[in-house]
């Protein structure tokens, strides 16, 4: 049975799709920003010699890594308005839930990077009287990038895709817009094809860019 593909109707919905892309990219940007900051903090806590800090971090990481993202999103969607006793926009809920999720995963990536540095290189900084903060930003972070970058880049790209789950709590991102168009047109195949292509257009160049950056960095340092 032949299926008659017809994409022409999508021209009438390009504004909705474009808006969905903007929401998706904004969500991704904020989640990466907050999730990365949280990941660094959790990683520092986890390698800290202070047992309460490392234990808190381990428990946090374990919980947020083990829960499905959709469960997190829906739980925060119901919990946050109750906790703050006011409406919390689904977009803000998504930023919080997805940042916590990314933070838990990236914490392990950062931790692996930080512990990969030879102790002697940190001691050299200590002897030269660099402060802990200076040692962290000028020595530990750049030296660990080689270990951190490949899995972190993968995690960032995964974050772009994960934002589609925010549609479960009515965030107007690309996937949600697609569902809206389908409910009006009843042509899911064409809509999901276009959504898939849009994801590829966004992710592919980013993926290639990260690969090139990683390659150039590795070439420069070893």
Partner 1 sequence: MLEIKQLCKTFGNNTVLKNVNFAVEEGEVAVLLGPSGSGKTTLLRCIAGIEKHDSGNLIFKERSIGLVFQEHYLWDHLRVLDNIMLAPQLVQKREKSEVYRDTLDILLKVRLQDKINHYPHQLSSGQKQRVALARALIMQPKLLLLDEITSSLDPQMIGEVLAIVSNLAQEGMTMLIITHNLSFAQKIGTSFAYMEGGMIIERDGKELFLHPRDERTQRFLAEKIEPG
Binding of residue 218 to partner 1 (CB under 8 A): no
Choosing from 63, 79, 89, 142, the residue that interacts with partner 1 (CB under 8 A) is 142
Choosing from 145, 149, 206, 210, the residue that interacts with partner 1 (CB under 8 A) is 145
SS3 57: helix
Binding of residue 49 to partner 1 (CB under 8 A): no
**Per CB under 8 A, which region of 38-46, 108-116, 140-148, 206-214 contacts partner 1?**
140-148
Distance CA(175)–CA(188), nearest Å, equals: 12
Distance CA(104)–CA(35), nearest Å, equals: 8
Binding of residue 124 to partner 1 (CB under 8 A): yes
Q: Taking a C-beta distance cutoff of 8 angstroms, is the pair 146, 220 a contact?
A: no
Among 143, 154, 149, smallest CA distance to 115 is for: 143
Q: How many binding residues for partner 1 (CB under 8 A)?
A: 20
Choosing from 88, 130, 147, 149, the residue that interacts with partner 1 (CB under 8 A) is 130
Residue 145 or 182: which CB sits closer to partner 1? 145
Distance CA(220)–CA(70), nearest Å, equals: 41
Choosing from 59, 123, 183, 205, the residue that interacts with partner 1 (CB under 8 A) is 123
Binding of residue 221 to partner 1 (CB under 8 A): yes
**Per CB under 8 A, which region of 11-19, 98-106, 131-139, 162-170 contacts partner 1?**
131-139
Give me the helices (H) in the chain, please. Answer: 14-47, 51-66, 69-84, 90-115, 119-127, 132-135, 141-162, 174-185, 188-221
How many whole angstroms from its chain centre is CA 119? 30
Binding region for partner 1 (CB under 8 A):
118, 120-121, 123-130, 134, 138-139, 142-143, 145, 220-222
């Amino acid at each position: 049975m032949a299926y008659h593909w017809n994409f022409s109707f999508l021209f009438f919905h390009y504004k909705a799709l474009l808006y969905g892309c903007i929401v998706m990219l904004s969500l991704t940007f904020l989640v990466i920003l907050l999730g990365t900051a949280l990941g660094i903090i959790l990683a520092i806590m986890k390698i800290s010699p202070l047992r309460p800090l490392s234990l808190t971090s381990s428990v946090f990481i374990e919980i947020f890594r083990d829960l499905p993202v959709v469960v997190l999103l829906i739980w925060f969607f119901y919990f946050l308005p109750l906790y703050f006793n006011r409406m919390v926009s689904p977009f803000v809920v998504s930023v919080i839930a997805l940042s916590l999720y990314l933070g838990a995963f990236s914490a392990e990536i950062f931790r692996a990077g930080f512990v990969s540095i030879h102790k002697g290189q940190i001691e050299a900084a200590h002897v030269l009287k660099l402060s802990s903060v200076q040692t962290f930003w000028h020595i530990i972070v750049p030296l660990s990038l080689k270990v951190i970058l490949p899995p972190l880049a993968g995690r960032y790209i995964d974050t772009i895709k994960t934002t589609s789950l925010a549609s479960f709590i009515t965030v107007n991102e690309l996937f949600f817009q697609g569902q809206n168009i389908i409910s009006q047109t009843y042509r899911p195949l064409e809509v999901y094809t276009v959504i898939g292509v849009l994801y590829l257009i966004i992710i592919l160049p980013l993926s290639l860019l990260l690969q090139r950056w990683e390659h150039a960095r590795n070439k420069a340092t070893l």
